[in-house]
Amino acid sequence: MGITIFARGSIDKTDDIPVLIAEIKEVAGKKGWNYEVIDDDFDQLSQVELEHNKEDSSLNINGSLGLKGILIDVGPGVDTLALLFDRSGVLTDVMSQVVWLQDKGRDDRLSICKTQFGSIEGHISIIEILDILKDKYMTNLEVTDEGDYWTSRDRELLSEKRAVLEHYINHAKEAISNAKRPAAPDQSLEDLALSIERSLLDAEGNKGPIQ
């Protein structure tokens, strides 16, 4: 849950990937953003193995994803924006590419960036980067912006949508924390789910209008 930006499409010319990287690096440098350039060998077979780290339950990715591009961090609370392309020029991110390599029968790759827990400026910065891609490198770029800023360019609307979502996140947290767990160990998860649902409805009724 959270305001998220989804971008999909392919670069018009794969030869322009280094040019795109250079331009976004320059923008990141001027803005003081951290970035990382990814430069896999397109001639190398793309294959990965997933390794679970038992110590911290993390997931390690071993092998080559077969991607070139750049990762950008625009600020705290905003997910890293991945502008990564495979040898055919498809825009993707790390997890989308991993899923695709595991199941090449599907191809719904895209780049996903959640901005809910960052600043409004962070969300707008992501959109401005995607503007560069759309204007210069990806004429078929499709963006779905849950904050509606991509289509509206309305900062106030973006702020309102973030406030509404924050309201419901807090509301859900409160409802779940207030839900009574089954007293007997033989009571079902369905009973717990019903208890949480009742708490959600009660909490919503007590919240009143969003300020």
Model confidence pLDDT, tens digit, residues 164-208? 877 566 655 665 666 555 555 665 667 666 666 666 566 555 544
* Strand-pair category, 111-114 with 4-8: antiparallel
Query: Do 57 and 133 share a structural domain?
Result: yes
119 and 197 in one domain? no
User: How far is the CA of 129 from the CAs of 39, 109, 115, 147, in angstroms?
Assistant: 20, 19, 14, 16
In angstroms, the CA 179 to CA 31 distance is 45
Outline where 65-188 has alpha helix (H). Answer: 94-102, 120-132, 149-152, 155-178
Q: Evaluate whether residue 198 is within a structural domain.
A: yes
Letter for the amino acid at 106? R
What is the torsion angle, in degrees rounded to the nearest 10, for the CA atoms of residue 200, residue 203, residue 204 and residue 208? -170
pLDDT digits (tens, 9 = 90+) for 84-116: 999 999 999 999 999 898 887 678 899 999 998
Residue located via tokens 């961090």:
73
Same domain, 105 and 34: yes
Is the same domain home to 129 and 106?
yes
| Co-location of 17 and 93 in the same domain | yes
The 10s digit of each residue's pLDDT in 52-72 is 777 776 778 888 899 999 999
Query: The whole model's pTM is what?
Result: 0.79
Q: Is 152 within the bounds of a domain?
A: no
Residues 6 or more apart whose CB falls under 8 angstroms from that of 126 comprise: 5, 74, 78, 81, 113, 115
Based on the number of CB atoms within 10 Å of its own CB, is 78 exposed (0-12), middle (13-18) or buried (19 or more)? buried
Q: Which of 111, 128, 116 is nearest to 33 (CA)?
A: 128
Angstrom distance (rounded) from CA 107 to CA 197: 36
Q: How confident is the model at residue 211 (pLDDT cuts 50, 70, 90)?
A: very low
Mean pLDDT of all residues in 124-142: 98
Q: Are residues 76 and 121 in the same domain?
A: yes
CA 12 → CA 9, 20, 58, 112, 154, distances in Å? 9, 11, 36, 20, 29
Q: Is the pLDDT of residue 209 over 50?
A: no
In 3D space, the residue among 81, 94, 96, 95 whose CA is nearest the CA of residue 133 turns out to be: 81
Asked whether the predicted pLDDT for residue 31 surpasses 60, the reply is yes
Whether 22 and 124 share a structural domain: yes
| 32: containing domain | 4-146
Q: Are 185 and 115 in the same domain?
A: no
Considering the domain architecture, whether residues 41 and 111 belong to the same structural domain is answered as yes
User: Quick check: is 153 in a domain?
Assistant: no
**Is 62 inside any structural domain?**
yes
**pLDDT of 131 strictly over 70:** yes
- The verdict on 167 and 131 lying in the same domain is no
Greatest Cα-to-Cα distance within the chain, rounded to the nearest angstrom: 65
**Are residues 92 and 180 both part of a single domain?**
no
Buried b (16+ CB within 10 A) or exposed e, 189-201: eeeeeebbeebbe
Q: How far apart are CA 85 and CA 14, in angstroms?
A: 8
Helices 17-31 and 120-132: crossing angle in degrees, nearest 10, is 150
pLDDT at 50: 74
